[in-house]
Structure 1
């Protein structure tokens, strides 16, 4: 292992992914340089130019960085995609960090931090965005009252719905509906 490779491993440098892989004799795993697992002891590290070469020598792919999956975007991005999917399927109920945590089997604070890091917003903010986008589609149908739409998309009362709608869209639902008729 040369100095550049060690720096890449130590700094979890994503730019070296695919250029080399490192295997750990202590855990019998092979990782990408960007793997966020604990920094290894250099004496346990072996360098490979190809992940399959390491696998042939008895190392297994790391569960965290998935070096054998070329299209994999990262652990946190994968977790956030799963969280987004859960929110999109359950937006009409009371989605909480606890319910996300139970479904995804991850620490709620880790989910929150990952979401904020990857998307720049919290899961709660994303939930409101999903709800408001669903409400905008329902506002096109005049047979639904604004209160009914708010309840349909998961808000317990029309005041909270109108407040969140204005916060995200800049206007209240009634004005949004009027603009659709112009």
Structure 2
């Protein structure tokens, strides 16, 4: 193992992912240089330049960094994507953080922190943004009533829908409809 390889392992340097892999004789696993597991003891480290080579020498892929799937971006990124998929499919339903966390088999606080870190907003803020995006499309493309659209996208009171719509879009749903339907 070279000094550069050791520094990459110690610092969890992503730029070396795919360039080499390190295996641990003590656990019989191999990892990417960016793996966030505990820094290994250098005497237990063996360097490989392909994942296949490490596997052929009897090492199994790490469950944390998934070195055998180079397009995998990490567990937190994957969790965020799964939460987004869930919310995009269920945006019209009333749900809690606990409901989403249970469906993804994770702790609700961990889900909240991870989602906010990756998306820059909370799950509730994302749900509102998704609902309002769909409502704006309906307002611009249909003649459906505002109260019907409100109910369709998951708001059960028109006043709450109007407050959230104005907060996100900057104008009321009626004003939005008028400007996007060519009415003035």
TM-score (norm 2): 0.90
Structure 1: segments with no counterpart, 5+ residues: none
How big is the shift at 1:58?
Answer: 0.9
Question: What SS is found at the alignment partner of 1:78?
Answer: helix
Structure 2: segments with no counterpart, 5+ residues: none
TM-score (norm 1): 0.91
1:175 match: 175
**Deviates most, 54-63 or 38-47:** 38-47
Question: What SS is found at the alignment partner of 2:30?
Answer: strand
List structure 1 segments (4+ residues) > 6 angstroms apart after TM superposition: none
How big is the shift at 1:72?
Answer: 1.7
CA deviations over 1:69-123 (Å, ceiling 9, x no partner) = 1222222221111110000001011232211111111122222222222222222
- Do the aligned residues in 2 keep the contact of 1:30 with 1:59 (CA within 8 Å)? yes
5 Å matches for 1:26-175? 26-139=26-139, 140-142=141-143, 144-175=144-175
Give the Cα separation in 2 of the matches to 1:134 and 1:58.
Answer: 51
How big is the shift at 1:6?
Answer: 2.3
How big is the shift at 1:3?
Answer: 2.8
How big is the shift at 1:131?
Answer: 0.7
